[in-house]
Amino acid sequence: MVSGSAPKDQPHPVDRILVTASPAAYAPRSADAGGSAFGAVPPAPRPPAAHARPASTSVQAALRDLQAAVLGDQAHVALAPEVLAAVARHAPLDLTAYHLSRIAAWALPRHRLDRRFVALTLLVDQGAAATTERWRAEPRRFDDLADVFAATGAPALVLLGRPGAGKSTLLRRLEIDSAIESLRTGGPRVTFHVPLNGYRADGPGGTPAGPPAWLCERWLRLYPRLPDLERLLADCRVLLLLDGLNELPHRDAADYRRHVEAWKECLHAVVEQSPDNRVVFACRSLDYSAPLSRAVRAHARREPSARGSDHQRLDRGWVRRRLRSRRELDAAPGAGARRAAADRARREAEAAAALAKRLDALVRRGAAAWRDVEQRIERTQPQAYDEAVAMLRDLRALAERDHKLGDLQHRLAALRQRHAKKRAFIGRLDRAGFG
């Protein structure tokens, strides 16, 4: 299982990635010019000096630089947010490129997590016949899901936490640590992070495919050049990160229970037939995950921070590590340019934290957010149009985060059709990149 990628008092390998404001902040290396589509990752060259490499502007170069940073061949690497996003969207040709794409997907500051401010309580199911409290809280606290797996030996866990408590961030951290370990050790583990709010039928009124078929179809659609998910599961190589059990689309309580039962059967197939596979469900509370209790005896509950908000504490921890990296860079040649890059990275972190809060609020609001967009458009006023476009930008960021860009495109196409005669609004959409 994942053992963690660095001692917890040391910078995480992802902290080697400096997020710059623009790929033009540095001139690209001449060796990066041109090149074919990235396939197998070549050995990363070892730079002579321990300072940040110029910002990469191509997917091929960014993958090489990411690999160098993860393997410790490069002290720091500078990448622009749009380059990281391009690496995350890139269709990998092999599992090495896949692991690097997953690291890129969660390397932006808004996804970073300081484990010093994470507290997980292990809840163990004593069974329905328990004479005292059914769910016993273990006295030991954990700050990492990998440690919970190691302590319990369980093939499956349920991660509990209130909305906004950081469940998805913990799953992403586990995915990053697993990808880093696979890259460093050559291990076979492959992660698959799946938001369960996308588990629905293809058409209205239909019935969704069974969870195993749905997972395999989703994997094939996202990663058509990689080995089939069914084969990877059979080889006991998969860590499934199933995010949002309580967000499974359903008509009523009975329909929700049927869906959870189907996922429980999927869990049996994944971990009983192939015992080295691992599964984590993220869920709001025990009320939603109770139907899984016979299959998953161990639940990890995300506890609130002792003081201050989670976002404030996580951001402060990230900035402290970033400043430590900045001091290291100050001693290197070209320190002035790199200080400017670090300042941009800090501002990026602050903006990303604000965006993360807005996205969490959008998740809680659901369809009401789209109604607000429509109401602003109907006012036919310049300021209202600007507000609507700003909300659409956040909805696009949310769709990118949750891998639901297809749903967003359908909604945007319908919105453009409804308001096609509002030329001032359509012009704003086009200028904002919604063309």
CA end-to-end distance (rounded Å), the chain: 44
Q: In the structure, what pLDDT confidence band is assigned to residue 6 with cuts at 50, 70 and 90?
A: low
Shared domain check, 142 and 96: no
Pair of tokens at residue 189: 């583990």
| Domain closes at, from 282, 303, 324 | 303
Specify if 355 maps to a domain: no
Phi and psi, residue 298, nearest 5°: -115, 125
Specify if 379 maps to a domain: yes
State mean pLDDT over 97-109.
Answer: 87
State mean pLDDT over 120-147.
Answer: 75
Q: In the structure, what pLDDT confidence band is assigned to residue 386 with cuts at 50, 70 and 90?
A: very high
Instruction: State the Cα–Cα distance between residues 220 and 216, nearest whole angstrom.
Output: 6
Instruction: State the Cα–Cα distance between residues 359 and 412, nearest whole angstrom.
Output: 18
Q: Which residue has the higher pLDDT, 104 or 289?
A: 104
CB–CB of 193/282 below 8 Å?
Answer: no
Percent of the chain with pLDDT over 90: 23
Specify if 399 maps to a domain: yes
Shared domain check, 209 and 124: yes
Shared domain check, 151 and 287: yes
Half-sphere exposure (Cβ direction) of 56: Cα atoms closer than 13 Å: 27
Specify if 257 maps to a domain: yes
Shared domain check, 146 and 83: no
Shared domain check, 56 and 167: no
Shared domain check, 324 and 229: no
State mean pLDDT over 381-391.
Answer: 92
Shared domain check, 278 and 184: yes
Shared domain check, 162 and 289: yes
Instruction: State the Cα–Cα distance between residues 341 and 326, nearest whole angstrom.
Output: 9
Specify if 352 maps to a domain: no
Residue 65 has pLDDT above 80, yes or no: yes
Q: Which residue has the higher pLDDT, 143 or 28?
A: 143
Q: In the structure, what pLDDT confidence band is assigned to residue 222 with cuts at 50, 70 and 90?
A: very high
The secondary structure of residue 190, as a DSSP letter, is E
For 12-23, the pLDDT digits (tens) are 777 778 777 654
Q: Which residue has the higher pLDDT, 72 or 232?
A: 232
Residue 27's alpha-carbon distances to 31, 36, 57, 78, 213, in angstroms, are 12, 20, 9, 11, 46
pLDDT computed for residue 62 by the predictor: 87
Q: In the structure, what pLDDT confidence band is assigned to residue 272 with cuts at 50, 70 and 90?
A: confident
pLDDT computed for residue 30 by the predictor: 30
Of 23-37, 168-182, 233-247, 260-274, minimum mean pLDDT range: 23-37
pLDDT computed for residue 378 by the predictor: 93
Of 34-48, 161-175, 203-217, minimum mean pLDDT range: 34-48
Shared domain check, 283 and 138: yes
pLDDT computed for residue 190 by the predictor: 95
pLDDT computed for residue 49 by the predictor: 38
SS (H, E, C) 272-341: HCCCCCEEEEEECCHHHHHHHCCCCCEEEEEECCCCCCHHHHHHHHHHHHHHHHHHHHHCCCCHHHHHHH
Shared domain check, 182 and 275: yes
Of 34-38, 369-373, 424-428, minimum mean pLDDT range: 34-38
Q: In the structure, what pLDDT confidence band is assigned to residue 1 with cuts at 50, 70 and 90?
A: low
Half-sphere exposure (Cβ direction) of 31: Cα atoms closer than 13 Å: 9
pLDDT computed for residue 35 by the predictor: 30
* DSSP 3-state of 120: strand
Mean pLDDT of the chain: 76
Residue 69 has pLDDT above 90, yes or no: no
Contacts of 246 (CB under 8 A, 6+ apart): 283, 284, 285, 288, 289
State mean pLDDT over 358-377.
Answer: 86
State mean pLDDT over 155-169.
Answer: 82
Specify if 359 maps to a domain: no
pLDDT computed for residue 308 by the predictor: 43
Specify if 398 maps to a domain: yes
State mean pLDDT over 250-272.
Answer: 86
pLDDT computed for residue 373 by the predictor: 93
Residue 332 has pLDDT above 70, yes or no: no
Residue 40 has pLDDT above 60, yes or no: no
Of 33-42, 268-277, 279-288, 395-404, minimum mean pLDDT range: 33-42
Specify if 162 maps to a domain: yes
Q: Which residue has the higher pLDDT, 225 or 84?
A: 225
pLDDT computed for residue 43 by the predictor: 39
Of 158-167, 212-221, 371-380, minimum mean pLDDT range: 158-167
**Structural domains in the chain (count):** 3
pLDDT computed for residue 129 by the predictor: 63
For 310-322, the pLDDT digits (tens) are 444 444 444 445 4
Q: Residue 39 sits in which domain range?
A: 13-108+315-341
pLDDT computed for residue 96 by the predictor: 94
| Domain closes at, from 248, 282, 303 | 303
Shared domain check, 84 and 59: yes
pLDDT computed for residue 28 by the predictor: 33
State mean pLDDT over 257-284.
Answer: 87
Cross-strand partners of 192: 240
State mean pLDDT over 118-135.
Answer: 69
Shared domain check, 400 and 297: no
Q: In the structure, what pLDDT confidence band is assigned to residue 218 with cuts at 50, 70 and 90?
A: very high
